[in-house]
Amino acid sequence: MRRLVATAIVLSAAVGLAAGAAAREGLRPAAPQVQRQTGPDASRMRAVAHLALGPGRFNGDVWVYRGHAYVGDWSFSVAAERRYCRAGPSDGVAVVDVRRPAKPRLVSRLRIPAGTWAEDVVVYTARSGPARGRDIAAAGLQICGGPRTEAGRFRGVVLWDVSRPSRPRELGRYSSGCCTAGVHSLEVRHRADLGKTFVYAAVPYSERPEAESPTGKRDRKGRGDFRLVDVTDPARPVETSTWGVERDAPDLEVRTRGCVPLSLGHAAEPSADGRLVFLSHWDAGVIALDVTRPERPVLRGRTTYGAEEDGDAHSASYDERRRLLFSADEDFCDGEGAMRGYGYLRVYDVSNLEAPRQIGSFRTPRSRGGRRGNYLIHNPVVVGDLVYASWYADGVRVIDVRNPRAPREVAHFVPPPGRPGKPTDAQVPLGGTEVWGVVVDRATGLAYASDLFSGLWILRRTG
C-alpha cells in the first residue's frame, strides 16, 4: 500500500463548530494542533476514485442523484478576526458526473452569490406543480464575511433545474431573512397526501437574543429555527410555517451544558411521508414535531441528555420501518470541563414520540478521547440495516445496526490528509482528514464521501 505520511494543521474547534455553532459566536477556538496520520486507513472498503474539487476550496455536504454527485462548499466567519470567507464569487455546489464511478468528471457548478456558502444540498425530481418531472437541486445558503445585519444580503435556499446537470439553471429563491446567517441544513420531502413538496430547513440562532432587533431576537420577524417552505413551484418558494423552542414551547426546560452550552436548531430530518420531523436542537436534544398540518407544527416529544453529558445534538437519520432514530452529537471537547470523549452515535427508540428512549450507541475507539483531533461523528445516514456515518478525522464508518442495542462496525475508510491547494486566509491554516458528509447510491451500493479539504471520494465495500 502506498504510504503517505503527512503533517497537517487543524484548527480544531473552528472546523465543524464554525459551521454548526459556537465558534461563530466567539467561542475561543482551540490552539492549532498537529494531526499525524498514515493513510488511507481502510477496512473492507476501498476507494474507486478520488476527485479534488478545486484549489482553495473547502467542501461541505454531498448528495448523489441520477449518476451525479453534488458537493457543497464551506466557509465560516469566526468572531471578528478569525474569518474564512472566499473572496470574489463563491464556488458553490460542484456537480460531478459519476456514471463511470472510476472516472468522475466535474461538469458544472451551481453558482451562488459572493459572500455566501452552500453547505448542504439535496437533489430530487419534482412530482407535482409547474416543474413536475424536472430534476431540482436545493441548497441552503449562509452568509460569511461582513456583518450579517446587512438586510439586503441574500441568505436562504436557492433552487436550480438540474435536469441537464452540465447546464444548471436557477429557478427561484427563498430568503430566510435578516439577521441570522441563513439556512444551515435542509431536507426535501413530497407530501403525497397534499400534492406538495416542502423544504425542511434549519436556520440556527433565529431565537438568539439581539438587543437592536425589534423582536429582541436575531430573526427580525421573530421566527423559530425550524422553517417549513413550500417549494411545489420552485420558482416561487413560500414559507408555510416556522417553529421555535422559545416562541412555541416556552415551558420546555432547556439546560445548556458542556463546553458548547447552546440551544439551536441545527438540522431537520423528516419522515418519508413528510408528516413528522426530528429537529436536532443541540443541548435541547432532538425535538419531534408533527407537521401533518404544515401550517401548524405540533410538538410531540424530545430526547434528553444525562446530567453529565455534553449534549450537542447535531443531526439525525430516521429509520421509519423500525421507529429508530440515529442521532449524532457534534461534541468537539474531550474533557475541558465537559464529558470525556468526543461526539458519537446514539440510537433512540422513538416508537413513543412522547418519550424517546436511548437504547444503544456506537463510538469509534478514538472518539472515546485521550487523543487530540476531531474524532467526532458528523452526519449519520441509515441505509437498510446499516448506518453510514461521516466522522471527521475518523473518516467514513459503516455500522451494522441490525441489533440497535449493540451496533458494530463492519467497514471504514479514512482518507489521507488533504490540504486546500491555495489557502487564501493565512489566519486559518487548515488541513488533515475531515470527512464532512457521506451518502450511498442504493443502485450501485457505492458510497460518496466529501472531505473538507481533499474533495470527493467514491468508495466501495469489499467485504
Question: What's the closest the beta carbon of residue 377 comes to Ca ion, in angstroms?
Answer: 12
Nearer to Ca ion, 116 or 263 (CB): 263
Nearer to Ca ion, 76 or 342 (CB): 342
Residue with smallest beta-carbon separation from Ca ion: 258
C-alpha cell recorded at residue 83 = 474569518
Question: What's the closest the beta carbon of residue 331 comes to Ca ion, in angstroms?
Answer: 4
Nearer to Ca ion, 230 or 310 (CB): 310
The residue from 73, 283, 319, 394 that contacts Ca ion (CB under 5 A) is 283
**Stretch of 23-31, 174-182, 212-220, 333-341 lying at the interface with Ca ion (CB under 5 A):** 333-341
Residue 273, number of CB atoms within 10 A of its CB = 13
Q: DSSP string of 91-149? A: --EEEEE-SSTTS-EEEEEE---TTEEEEEEEEEE--SSTTTT-EEEEEEEEE-SS-TT
Question: What's the closest the beta carbon of residue 282 comes to Ca ion, in angstroms?
Answer: 6
Question: What's the closest the beta carbon of residue 361 comes to Ca ion, in angstroms?
Answer: 13
**Stretch of 299-307, 313-321, 338-346, 415-423 lying at the interface with Ca ion (CB under 5 A):** 338-346
Residues from 296 through 315 that contact Ca ion (CB under 5 A): 310-312
Nearest Cα to 27, choosing from 18, 16, 35, 39?
18
Nearer to Ca ion, 19 or 139 (CB): 19
Nearer to Ca ion, 161 or 331 (CB): 331
Question: What's the closest the beta carbon of residue 347 comes to Ca ion, in angstroms?
Answer: 19
Nearer to Ca ion, 68 or 314 (CB): 314
Question: What's the closest the beta carbon of residue 439 comes to Ca ion, in angstroms?
Answer: 27
Question: What's the closest the beta carbon of residue 283 comes to Ca ion, in angstroms?
Answer: 4
**Stretch of 85-93, 245-253, 319-327, 335-343 lying at the interface with Ca ion (CB under 5 A):** 335-343
Give the integer Cα–Cα distance in Å for 245 and 280.
12
**Stretch of 173-181, 273-281, 336-344, 451-459 lying at the interface with Ca ion (CB under 5 A):** 336-344
Residues from 229 through 258 that contact Ca ion (CB under 5 A): 257-258
Nearer to Ca ion, 71 or 338 (CB): 338
Nearer to Ca ion, 186 or 260 (CB): 260
Torsion angle of C-alpha atoms 217, 221, 224, 226, degrees rounded to 10: -140
Question: What's the closest the beta carbon of residue 20 comes to Ca ion, in angstroms?
Answer: 11
In the chain, DSSP finds a helix count (H) and a strand count (E) of 2, 33
Q: Which residues have a Cβ under 8 Å from the Cβ of 457 and sit 6 or more positions away?
A: 47, 49, 50, 396, 413, 415, 448, 449, 450, 451
Peptide bond into 179 cis (omega under 30): yes
Nearest Cα to 313, choosing from 349, 353, 269, 368?
269
Nearer to Ca ion, 45 or 338 (CB): 338
Question: What's the closest the beta carbon of residue 345 comes to Ca ion, in angstroms?
Answer: 14
C-alpha cell recorded at residue 12 = 480544531
**Stretch of 152-160, 189-197, 238-246, 282-290 lying at the interface with Ca ion (CB under 5 A):** 282-290
Q: Which residues have a Cβ under 8 Å from the Cβ of 268 and sit 6 or more positions away?
A: 185, 186, 187, 200, 201, 202, 226, 277, 278, 279, 280
**CA dist 245 to 242, 253, 303, 448, Å?**
10, 10, 14, 34
Question: What's the closest the beta carbon of residue 313 comes to Ca ion, in angstroms?
Answer: 9
C-alpha cell recorded at residue 50 = 478520488
Residues from 259 through 278 that contact Ca ion (CB under 5 A): 260
Q: Is 333 in the site for Ca ion (CB under 5 A)?
A: yes
Nearer to Ca ion, 109 or 257 (CB): 257
Nearer to Ca ion, 159 or 338 (CB): 338
Residue 251, Cβ density class (10 Å: 0-12 exposed, 13-18 middle, ≥19 buried): exposed
Question: What's the closest the beta carbon of residue 262 comes to Ca ion, in angstroms?
Answer: 6
Contact mark string toward Ca ion, 425..454, x via CB under 5 A: ------------------------------
Q: Is 329 in the site for Ca ion (CB under 5 A)?
A: no
Strands across the sheet containing 276-280: 267-270, 276-280, 286-290, 298-302
The residue from 187, 331, 441, 451 that contacts Ca ion (CB under 5 A) is 331
Nearer to Ca ion, 198 or 332 (CB): 332
Are 274 and 196 within 8 A, CB to CB?
no
Give the integer Cα–Cα distance in Å for 277 and 315.
12
Q: Is 339 in the site for Ca ion (CB under 5 A)?
A: yes
C-alpha cell recorded at residue 385 = 440495516
Total count of residues recorded for the chain: 463
Nearest Cα to 306, choosing from 338, 277, 349?
338
DSSP code, position 235: T
Q: DSSP string of 156-169? A: EEEEEE-SSTTS-E
Q: Is 330 in the site for Ca ion (CB under 5 A)?
A: no
Q: What is the contact surface with Ca ion in residues (CB under 5 A)?
A: 257-258, 260, 283, 310-312, 331, 333, 338-339
